[in-house]
């Protein structure tokens, strides 16, 4: 089974802090994704990466950046956290191949910005 | 970004009842996925559909890829308390990317 591990289940940070959310997958997948999940809005794509050091903006990249230095690890960075970034963050991965392969998700990080 | 219209938004049902939910889109998809998300957990893939008209089962769950390629349906038969959670659909639209578009979810509560 695919295992996508997010480093923290719950995180509380203060406004203005730099926040790192980490995601690791153990299936040698090329593609990794970061989403945020808010009630009534579903999952919205922040960034994705299709290879080491490669990244593409998703639908809501503002206020976020990402880092992919190793194939198995994809980090989401909140450069200066704000209260409107309080949300559930989900990481997902999928192998290269058919572009419609299902995405496999981690358990999420519930982030609160005070 | 585009989102799918998923309905109902929430439902309360009695244990043992059957459940139906659906997703619709204004554009054609080539793949439909159905996920379940338990409280405090990430989404888990239930069923993947790759062909218009396809009907696929996973235990008590059955999903169908609509003939028009603009909708998909998920049915749960004889619901049990552990079916509680949020069910999401996701569609892929031949955009040449790996991006999926997600529905807003159906929250299911089962009354024992």
Identify the pLDDT of residue B2.
67
Identify the pLDDT of residue A97.
73
Distance CA B92, CA B104 (A): 15
Residues of chain B contacting A, Cβ within 8 Å: 1, 3-4, 30-31, 33, 35, 40-45, 48, 50, 88, 90, 92, 96-100, 102-105
CA angle, residues B22, B23, B29, in degrees to nearest 5: 135
| Two tokens, residue B41 | 């957990």
Facing A50 at nearest CB: one of B42, B50, B98: B98
Q: Does residue A50 sit at the B interface (CB-CB below 8 Å)?
A: yes
| Two tokens, residue A100 | 């419609």
| Two tokens, residue A29 | 């997948």
3-state secondary structure of A85: helix
Facing A104 at nearest CB: one of B30, B45, B90: B45
Contact B88 A42 (CB under 8 A): yes
The region of weakest confidence among A28-32, A70-74, B81-85, B90-94 is B90-94
Contact A99 B97 (CB under 8 A): yes
Mind telling me how many Å the CA of B60 is from chain A's nearest CA? 21
Over residues B25-52, the pLDDT tens digits come to 988 999 999 999 998 889 999 999 999 9
Strand extents, DSSP E, chain A: 4-6, 10-13, 19-25, 31-38, 42-51, 54-57, 64-70, 73-78, 87-94, 104-105, 109-113
Strand A64-70 to strand B5-7: parallel, antiparallel, or no bridges (unpaired)? unpaired
Identify the pLDDT of residue A42.
84
Who wins on pLDDT, A41 or A34? A34
Question: Distances from the Cα of A49 to the Cαs of A22, A68, B43, in angstroms?
Answer: 14, 7, 20
Rounded mean pLDDT, B8-22:
94
Over residues A38-64, the pLDDT tens digits come to 988 889 999 999 999 899 999 999 999
Contact A100 B102 (CB under 8 A): no
Chains A, B: CB contacts within 8 A come to: 59
3-state secondary structure of B83: helix
Residue A78's CB is within 10 A of a number of other CB atoms, namely 19
DSSP category for residue A53: T
Identify the pLDDT of residue A95.
83
Identify the pLDDT of residue B87.
96
Distance CA A28, CA A33 (A): 14
């Amino acid at each position: 089974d695919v295992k996508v591990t997010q480093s923290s289940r719950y995180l509380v940070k203060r406004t203005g802090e730099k926040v790192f959310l980490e995601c690791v997958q153990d299936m040698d997948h090329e593609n990794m994704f970061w989403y945020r999940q808010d009630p009534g809005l579903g999952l919205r794509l922040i960034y994705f990466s299709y290879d080491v050091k490669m990244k593409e903006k998703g639908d809501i990249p503002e206020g976020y950046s990402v880092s992919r230095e190793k194939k198995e690890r994809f980090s989401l960075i909140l450069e200066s956290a704000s209260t409107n970034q309080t949300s559930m963050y989900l990481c997902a991965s999928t192998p290269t191949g058919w572009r419609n392969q299902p995405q496999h998700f981690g358990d999420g990080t519930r982030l609160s910005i005070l | 970004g585009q989102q799918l219209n998923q309905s109902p938004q929430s439902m309360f049902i009695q244990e043992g009842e059957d459940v139906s939910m659906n997703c619709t889109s204004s554009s054609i998809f080539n793949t439909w996925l159905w996920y379940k998300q338990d409280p405090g957990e990430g989404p888990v893939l239930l069923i993947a559909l790759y062909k218009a008209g396809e009907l696929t089962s996973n235990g008590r769950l059955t999903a169908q890829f609509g003939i028009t390629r603009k909708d998909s349906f998920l049915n749960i038969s004889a619901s049990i308390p552990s079916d509680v959670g949020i069910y999401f659909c996701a569609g892929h639209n031949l955009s040449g990317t790996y991006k999926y578009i997600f529905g807003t979810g159906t929250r299911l509560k089962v009354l024992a």
